[in-house]
């Protein structure tokens, strides 16, 4: 359920009408991703729930939530047998299937079925995290900080957090981990007690044309007909403790497991969902939402698409690499569609316009009372001020912040060498050896084709910046070219870094540190000019971002507190990959005018989609 819950929530719910409040005496909203400790205060019996809230989440006993776990790859999963059997989404097993595949046996394409427990595939790098307790500790963390501001407040909150974490960890059962997390700019502080299982194995995964039927076109769309499931199994040491893979390990015995209702559900049935949604920002101000819709989401979607297409090129002539990067490409395509859909949804729903109207009501509410003016009067004017300073160059800043991208280690290493020489620094022998070791490590997995294509993407993005945001160094190199000629010049420049023999070994890169700036400029004039200017620009962006962040958290906290007080609705924290609860009824929906979807799909619909070609090839 990695993306069915967390990404779906990001796609559909991230910037819905934002709801917040400050007092547990207030009413709850009719929707949301609630924390487990809030379940007992929801009107669930009126909606159709027939079990007690404590049957869902019970930190002092056993509840359904004990069967719902998070995989280390970011997915929700659930125990479905007393022998540690786990059900999750098909793509959540991708990494495990890929790591076990060879050019001769592609388990993503063929699927996998273990005919015995000894033949279950070790899911390399996988862990299972079980939530044992969730507690709102906001009052404890804020104790003594109520009347403090700035650094003094931050230090008190840090002190309280560290002390409480140490106290709770000392009382926790062996194998349990306590962590405390601040959410929503400090509006909430939550304690999480979890346990990790480190031995996970693949039991069954359907073949590609079942598990990925419909592919990208059907992803996040309705109707869907994919067999989106995989079975795993969790193992522990014979004494029940968490252990790395060992043939002597035994299936984990969960406190609770779910049974599958073969009869399914009917339209209008009450349903609820437990899962681990990734991350949302539902309480943001209008300027932030506008930035997400118009700039951030479109850029991220384009970047992810460029990386996915680049990995596709890497695998075109190398079957082993095609198999290796299947999971990476699926993840990139998944998130790319999230950002594309999010941008469209925000625009279609007029979210920015609605949010501004809500803020106008907020301003009137503040101005109607002197006490509110004293407490919240600065919030909206200050948000407007810092946004007007920060967002006008946001498109350019996004590019500069992302460079050098993590997917291009050669660019990063050459960039760091150029800046070191340009700043007149000299590495000691020990520092040089440490740097060489670092370069050798990252070069083990570098892909020159990927690096070239990603660099081409960034150069093209720079070329398309508004006139007042142009990157000077890029314009100096390429502004004499237009259209295809400029693309060709950009590709040549990218190749000179990523593919030619200039920097193709760690030893060649480390030698850059031995050159004088004059020698470096003579040998690589365009590269030095570009990277020196990039370093200067990134420093300016870093300073601008730090200034913005230094003010925005304080203002967002006041903003949320004020909105909460005005609305009188009990909030839930933004999603943060921890256990959440939501509920509703089984119904169809209308995505646009004159189109209505029923809530169920059948095998007949799958056959109707059959084209005989990927991704609509029915087995």
Clarify whether residues 161 and 113 are in a common domain. no
Q: How far apart are CA 408 and CA 314, in angstroms?
A: 14
Query: b/e string for 518-551 if b means 16 or more Cβ within 10 A?
Result: eebbeebebbbbbbbbbbebbeebeeeeeebeee
In angstroms, the CA 582 to CA 154 distance is 32
- For residues 275 and 297, state if they share a domain: no
505 with 601, same domain: the answer is: no
Does 454 have pLDDT greater than 70?
A: yes
Same domain (yes/no): 524, 395? yes
Residues 362 and 457 occupy one common structural domain = yes
Same domain, 275 and 293: no
Mean pLDDT of 282-306: 96
Same domain for 399 and 331 = yes
- Across the range 468-495, mean pLDDT stands at 94
Q: What is the mean pLDDT of residues 413-425?
A: 95
| 256 within some domain | yes
- Average pLDDT in the 249-266 region? 95
Q: Which helix (H) or strand (E) holds 389?
A: helix 379-390
pLDDT in tens, 58-88: 999 999 999 999 999 999 999 999 999 999 9
Spatial separation of the C-alpha atoms in residues 189 and 312, rounded to whole Å: 42
Residues 6+ apart with CB under 8 A from 2: 71, 73, 74, 75, 76, 88, 89, 91, 92, 278
Q: What is the rounded CA–CA span in Å between residue 435 and residue 83? A: 47
Residue 438 has pLDDT above 70, yes or no: yes
132-146, 168-182, 228-242, 587-601: range with lowest mean pLDDT:
587-601
Using omega within 30 degrees of 0 as the cis cutoff, is the peptide bond preceding 429 cis? no
Whether residue 36 is predicted with pLDDT greater than 70 in this model: the reply is: yes
- Band (pLDDT 50/70/90 cuts) for residue 18 is very low
Residue 562 in any domain: the answer is no
Residue 118 pLDDT level (bands cut at 50, 70, 90): very high
Cα torsion through 20, 21, 22, 28, rounded to 10: -110
| Residues 106 and 186 occupy one common structural domain | no
d(CA 424, CA 107): 52
The CA-to-CA distance between both ends of the chain, in Å, stands at 24
Q: Is the pLDDT of residue 522 over 80?
A: yes
Give the residue from 154, 181, 197 where a domain finishes: 197
Q: Is residue 619 part of a domain?
A: no
pLDDT digits (tens, 9 = 90+) for 346-376: 999 999 999 999 999 999 999 999 999 999 9
Q: What is the rounded distance in angstroms from the CA atom of residue 426 to the CA atom of residue 429?
A: 10
* Residue at 616 is within a domain: no
Higher pLDDT, 23 or 455: 455
Confidence of residue 28 (pLDDT cuts 50, 70, 90): low
pLDDT grade for 550, boundaries at 50, 70 and 90: confident
The answer to whether residue 3 scores a pLDDT higher than 60 is no
Using the 3D structure, point to which of 141, 163, 197 is the last residue of a domain: 197
Query: How many angstroms separate the Cα of 300 from the Cα of each of 306, 342, 402?
Result: 10, 11, 10
Confirm whether 164 is domain-assigned: yes
- Last-in-domain residue among 197, 214, 237: 197
Judge if 23 and 105 occupy the same domain. yes
CA torsion 371-373-376-380 (nearest 10°) is 170
Residue 427 belongs to a domain: yes
Average confidence (pLDDT) over 279-288: 95
DSSP-assigned states of every residue in 277-311 = -----TT--HHHHHHIIIIIHHHHHHHHHHHHHHH
On whether residue 190 sits in a domain, the answer given is yes
Q: Do 457 and 370 share a structural domain?
A: yes
- C-alpha–C-alpha distance, residues 510 and 414, integer Å: 9
Q: Is residue 10 located within the same domain as residue 65? A: yes
pLDDT of 313 over the 80 cut: yes
Q: Given this model, what pLDDT does residue 30 score?
A: 63
Q: What letter would DSSP give residue 395?
A: H
When pLDDT is averaged across residues 423-450 and rounded to a whole number, the result is 96
Mean pLDDT within 113-130 = 97
Domain count, the chain: 3
148 lies in which domain range? 128-197
Give the confidence band of 29 by pLDDT, cuts at 50, 70, 90.
low
Mean pLDDT of the chain: 92
Together in a domain, 471 and 505: yes
The pLDDT of residue 262 is above 60:
yes
Residue 617 in any domain: the answer is no
What mean pLDDT do residues 209-220 have?
A: 95
pLDDT-wise least confident of 273-287, 397-411, 431-445, 458-472: 397-411
User: Higher confidence at residue 9 or residue 247?
Assistant: 247
């Amino acid at each position: 359920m990695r993306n069915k819950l967390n990404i779906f929530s990001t796609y559909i719910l991230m910037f819905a009408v934002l709801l917040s409040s400050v007092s547990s005496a207030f009413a709850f909203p009719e929707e949301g991703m609630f924390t487990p400790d809030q379940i007992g205060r929801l009107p669930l019996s009126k909606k159709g729930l027939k079990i007690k809230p404590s049957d869902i989440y019970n930190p002092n006993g056993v509840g359904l939530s004990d069967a719902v776990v998070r995989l280390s790859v970011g997915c929700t999963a659930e125990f479905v047998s007393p022998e540690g059997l786990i059900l999750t989404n098909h793509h959540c097993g991708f990494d495990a299937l890929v790591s076990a595949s060879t050019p001769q046996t592609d388990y993503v394409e063929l699927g996998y079925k273990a005919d015995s427990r000894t033949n279950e595939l070790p899911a390399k790098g996988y862990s299972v995290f079980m939530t044992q307790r969730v507690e709102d500790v906001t009052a404890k963390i804020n104790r003594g900080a109520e009347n403090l501001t700035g650094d003094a407040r931050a230090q008190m909150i840090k002190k309280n957090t560290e002390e409480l974490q140490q106290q709770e960890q000392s009382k926790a059962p062996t194998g349990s981990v306590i962590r405390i997390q601040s959410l929503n700019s400090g509006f909430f502080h939550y304690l999480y007690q979890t346990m990790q299982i480190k031995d996970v194995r693949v039991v069954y995964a359907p073949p590609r044309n079942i598990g990925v039927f419909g592919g990208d076109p059907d992803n996040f769309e309705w109707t869907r007909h994919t067999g989106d499931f995989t079975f795993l199994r969790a193992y522990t040491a014979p004494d029940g403790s968490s252990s790395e893979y060992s043939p002597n390990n035994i299936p984990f015995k969960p406190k609770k497991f779910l049974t599958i209702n073969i009869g399914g559900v009917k339209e209008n049935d009450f349903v609820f969902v437990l899962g681990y949604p990734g991350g949302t920002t539902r309480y943001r101000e209008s300027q932030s939402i506008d930035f997400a819709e118009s700039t951030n989401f479109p850029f991220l979607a384009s970047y992810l698409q460029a990386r996915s297409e680049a990995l596709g090129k890497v695998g075109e002539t190398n079957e082993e690499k095609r198999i290796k990067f299947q999971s990476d490409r699926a993840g990139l395509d998944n998130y790319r569609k999230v950002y594309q859909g999010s941008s469209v949804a925000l625009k279609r729903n007029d979210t920015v316009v609605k949010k501004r109207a809500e803020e106008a009501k907020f301003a009137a509410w503040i101005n109607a009372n002197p006490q509110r003016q004293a407490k919240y009067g600065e919030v909206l004017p200050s948000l407007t001020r810092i946004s007007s300073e920060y967002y006008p160059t946001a498109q350019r800043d996004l590019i500069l912040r992302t460079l050098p991208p993590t997917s291009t280690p050669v660019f990063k290493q050459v960039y760091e060498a150029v800046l070191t020489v340009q700043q007149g620094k000299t590495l000691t022998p020990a520092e040089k050896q440490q740097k060489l070791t670092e370069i050798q490590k990252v070069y083990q997995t570098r892909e020159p084709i990927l690096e070239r294509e990603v660099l081409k993407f960034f150069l093209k993005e720079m070329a398309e910046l508004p006139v007042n945001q142009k990157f000077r160094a890029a314009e100096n190199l390429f502004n004499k070219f237009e259209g295809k000629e400029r693309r060709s010049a950009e590709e040549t420049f990218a190749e000179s870094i990523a593919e030619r023999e200039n920097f193709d070994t760690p030893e060649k890169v480390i030698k850059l540190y031995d050159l004088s700036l004059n020698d470096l400029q003579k040998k690589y004039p365009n590269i030095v000019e570009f990277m020196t200017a990039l370093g200067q620009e990134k420093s300016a962006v870093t300073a601008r971002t730090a200034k913005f962040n230094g003010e925005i958290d304080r203002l967002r906290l006041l903003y949320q507190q004020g909105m909460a007080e005005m609305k009188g609705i009990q909030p839930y924290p933004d999603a943060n990959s921890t256990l959440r609860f939501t509920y509703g009824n089984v119904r169809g929906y209308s995505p646009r005018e004159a189109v209505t979807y029923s809530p169920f799909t059948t095998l007949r619909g799958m056959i109707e989609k059959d084209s005989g070609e990927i991704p609509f090839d029915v087995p």
